[in-house]
Amino acid sequence: MKVLVTDPLLPEGLEILKKAGLEVEERVGLSPEELKEAIREADGIIIRSGTKLTAEIIEAAERLKVIARAGTGLDNVDLEAASRRGIVVMNCPGGNTNSAAEHTLALMFAMARNVPQAMASLKAGRWERKKFLGRELMGKTLGIIGLGRIGSVVAERAQGLKMKVIAYDPYVTPERASEMGVELVSLDELYARSDIITVHVPLMKETYHLLNAESFAKMKDGVLVINCARGGIVDERALYEAMKSGKVAGAALDVFEKEPPDPDHPLFSLENFVCTPHLGASTLEAQKNVAVAAASQVVDFLVHGVVRNA
């Protein structure tokens, strides 16, 4: 049986597939047309966020039995099309939780202390100590939208920084939140009270452009906004307008609605905009975790007929 790997997967994962007697075809960076051709003969496919498995591509697969995401988000897989064909879809949600949470904190610190801008200025030969006056995180209110795996770790770490943490998550009980020392509030209250807002929800119909012009208008003047979850949760045009007007004092995006974004993306022209190219899960530790988990799950299913979701 053949497993197609279309996004980078560490050798630790590839070895597990090969040891189990599966043929591995690594084809990173395929165009949709090339992917349609390559998937035809595959029994399994392992992807990250770079591969879009649309209905058309899934329909082209003649033998596909399993799709495994070496990571969390399944928004790049047409789940309905996969279900129609009886294809099992798996992800490895826990393996990169800590890395994504730590990257969220990195973005928060970077914004609060102007780290990227100050570094660029210094490397350009300037010494601008006055320009880069930062702000402390201690005592500030952090509003977390989505108190799941990553949101909870961010909450715990932020409390260690002596921040007040409030959250909005309609699927978490107030009791569970209070066990974490987090106050559960409505979305409007979160907008009104937070100094920094970070989103950790999946991208779905309900969360597409969750942060939009209307929500920015409800936020505190000078709020900082972070999206280390999924592109499309924040309306980038509305964010640009809110930053231009000064309503939002800084924003940090790890993810974009279109990846990679166009080089002339309007947000890139703003000095108080911090960004990274979808690096939330890009640590050695997380990549090892998800490579091993995804490969083991595919082997369990294709070789032993067992469905497991780590």
Distance, in Å, from the CA atom of 154 to the CA atom of 165, rounded to the nearest integer, reads 9
Q: Which of these segments, 130-138, 201-209, 238-246, 298-306, binds ligand NAD (CB under 6 A)?
A: 201-209
Q: Can you read off the two tokens belonging to residue 199?
A: 């989103």
Nearer to ligand NAD, 61 or 230 (CB): 230
Contacts of 198 (CB under 8 A, 6+ apart): 104, 108, 142, 143, 144, 145, 151, 154, 225, 226, 227, 228
x/- mask, ligand NAD, residues 227-266, rule CB under 6 A, reads -xxx-----------------------xx-----------
x/- mask, ligand MLT, residues 271-290, rule CB under 6 A, reads -------x-xx---------
Per DSSP, 77 falls in state B
135 included as an active-site residue: no
Q: Do residues 68 and 47 make contact, with C-beta atoms less than 8 angstroms apart? A: yes
Q: Please, which of residues 265-304 interact with ligand NAD by CB under 6 A?
A: 278, 280-281
Q: Is 53 in the site for ligand MLT (CB under 6 A)?
A: no
Q: Can you read off the two tokens belonging to residue 13?
A: 């994962």
Pick from ligand MLT, ligand NAD, none: which does 48 bind, CB < 5 to 8 A by kind? ligand MLT
Distance, in Å, from the CA atom of 191 to the CA atom of 202, rounded to the nearest integer, reads 19
Q: Please, which of residues 75-114 interact with ligand MLT by CB under 6 A?
A: 96
CB atoms closer than 10 angstroms to residue 52: 14
Least distance from ligand NAD to the Cβ atom of residue 242, Å = 20
Q: Which residues pair with 248 in a beta bridge?
A: 223
Distance, in Å, from the CA atom of 64 to the CA atom of 83, rounded to the nearest integer, reads 12
Residues 100, 111, 177, 226: which binds ligand NAD (CB under 6 A)? 100
Catalytic choice (69, 157, 200, 278): 278
- For tokens 């002339």, the residue is 264
Residues 201, 211, 226, 267: which binds ligand NAD (CB under 6 A)? 201
| Total residues at interface with ligand MLT (CB under 6 A) | 9
Least distance from ligand NAD to the Cβ atom of residue 206, Å = 5
Residues 6, 51, 72, 117: which binds ligand NAD (CB under 6 A)? 72
Pick from ligand NAD, ligand MLT, none: which does 201 bind, CB < 5 to 8 A by kind? ligand NAD
Residue 206 φ then ψ, to 5°:
-70, -25
Residue 96: HSE in the Cβ half-sphere, 13 Å Cα cutoff: 28
- For tokens 């050798």, the residue is 11
Distance, in Å, from the CA atom of 257 to the CA atom of 236, rounded to the nearest integer, reads 8
Per DSSP, 262 falls in state P
3 state DSSP class of 144: strand
Q: Is 73 in the site for ligand MLT (CB under 6 A)?
A: yes
Residue 39 φ then ψ, to 5°:
-80, -20
Q: Can you read off the two tokens belonging to residue 119?
A: 């570094």
Q: Please, which of residues 20-39 interact with ligand NAD by CB under 6 A?
A: none
230 included as an active-site residue: yes
Catalytic choice (34, 37, 259, 285): 259
Contacting positions for ligand MLT (CB under 6 A): 48-49, 71-73, 96, 278, 280-281
Residues with catalytic function: 230, 259, 278
Contacting positions for ligand NAD (CB under 6 A): 71-73, 93, 96-97, 100, 145-151, 168-172, 200-203, 206-207, 228-230, 254-255, 278, 280-281
